[in-house]
Amino acid sequence: MGWIIGAIVLIVFVIVISNIKVVQQSRAYVIERLGAFHEVWGVGMHFKMPFIDRVARRVSLKEQVLDYPPQPVITKDNVTMQIDTVVYFQITDPKLYTYGVEQPMMAMETLTATTLRNIIGDLELDQTLTSRDVVNTKMRAILDEATDPWGIKVNRVELKNILPPADIQSSMEKQMKAERDRRQAILQAEGQKNSAILIAEGERESAILRADAEKQAAILKAEAEKEAAILKADGEAQAIRAVQQALADSLALLNEKAPNDQVLKLKSIEAMQRIADGQATKIIIPSEMQGLVGMANGIVEGVKE
């Protein structure tokens, strides 16, 4: 009897130990009791009733990635291309995920393919190639709404590759080459234009500087001629004042000594001689003095005879 009791105790111990479950982080267990949904276990240690409860599904709550193979898609302008998509999703309700749909991953793949065909079918080739963000946004909204009853939240959808037919690719490459050549020609023309503008501006500034230099030279020349004329006029004025002073000196001498006419004439001539010895470059002789000079010449000739 003792060994039977021991065996029973051992069996009970094994059964109890085997029904203790530890749920890890970011995971959830869906528990059924007698074939019906009972509860969802979160993180921690739980005990399962033997022979009554069972773990229906172990669910990962982490964000998951589904990378689907390329799908043939026809655009609005009847171009067939291959597009592969990547879907980022997360299970938010383990119960709905378990009982909402049979084979959720296959259902996600089928739904993604049909949604992609519907969206691309409304776009032309050029729009498809340039509107990835629009397609991604539309697909994410549609998939998120459709998978909500399955306990799945679609976070992002990305078009991984868009592969048009070979002839379309060749035409696109030629178009891109032509566009690059056009841009190169435009840039070269703009460079030549800017160079010509810079040369013209340089020549204009050089002409302005030359004209300014000529203007300054003309101003300096005019100022020099003005100074020369002023100096010349000053010399003539000084000569006139010297003549006037000499005449005044002669008159004073005449009043003092009352000399005869001949002595007066000689004094005037001497005064003219003193004036000629000065720095004046030009002497203006009054008409009266010219007569005195003539008389002085007559006196000199008489003395010589």
SS (H, E, C) the chain: CHHHHHHHHHHHHHHHHHCEEEECCCEEEEEEECCEEEEEECCEEEECCCCCEEEEEEEECCEEEEECCCEEEECCCCCEEEEEEEEEEEECCHHHHHHCCCCHHHHHHHHHHHHHHHHHCCCCHHHHHHCHHHHHHHHHHHHHHHHHHHCEEEEEEEEEEEECCHHHHHHHHHHHHHHHHHHHHHHHHHHHHHHHHHHHHHHHHHHHHHHHHHHHHHHHHHHHHHHHHHHHHHHHHHHHHHHHHHHHHHHHHHHHHCCCHHHHHHHHHHHHHHHHCCCCCCCCCCHHHHHHHHHHHHHHHHHHC
Q: Of 15, 41, 59, which residue constitutes the final position of a domain?
A: 59
- The domain containing residue 82 runs over which residues? 63-164
Query: Are 73 and 157 contained in the same domain?
Result: yes
Average pLDDT (35-56) is: 89
The answer on 67 and 34 residing in a single domain is no
Is 179 part of a structural domain of the chain? no
Residues 54 and 104 in one domain: no
Residue 189 lies in a domain: no
User: 70 and 47: one domain?
Assistant: no
CATH number reported for the structural domain that contains residue 124 in this entry? 3.30.479.30
- The overall pTM is greater than 0.75: no
In a domain, 54, yes or no: yes
Tell me, yes or no, whether 183 lies in a domain.
no
pLDDT tens digit sequence for 212-269: 888 888 888 888 888 888 888 887 778 777 767 777 776 666 566 545 555 555 555 5
Indicate whether 293 belongs to any domain. yes
Q: Are residues 77 and 52 in the same domain?
A: no
Kindly state whether residue 198 falls inside one of the protein's structural domains. no
- Domain end call among 111, 139, 164: 164
Q: Is the pLDDT of residue 161 over 90?
A: no
Q: Is residue 205 part of a domain?
A: no
Report the domain count for the chain. Answer: 3
pLDDT tens figures, 99-148: 988 888 899 999 999 999 999 988 888 888 888 888 999 999 999 999 99
Q: Does residue 28 surpass a pLDDT of 90? A: yes
In a domain, 208, yes or no: no
Q: Is the pLDDT assigned to residue 284 strictly greater than 80?
A: no
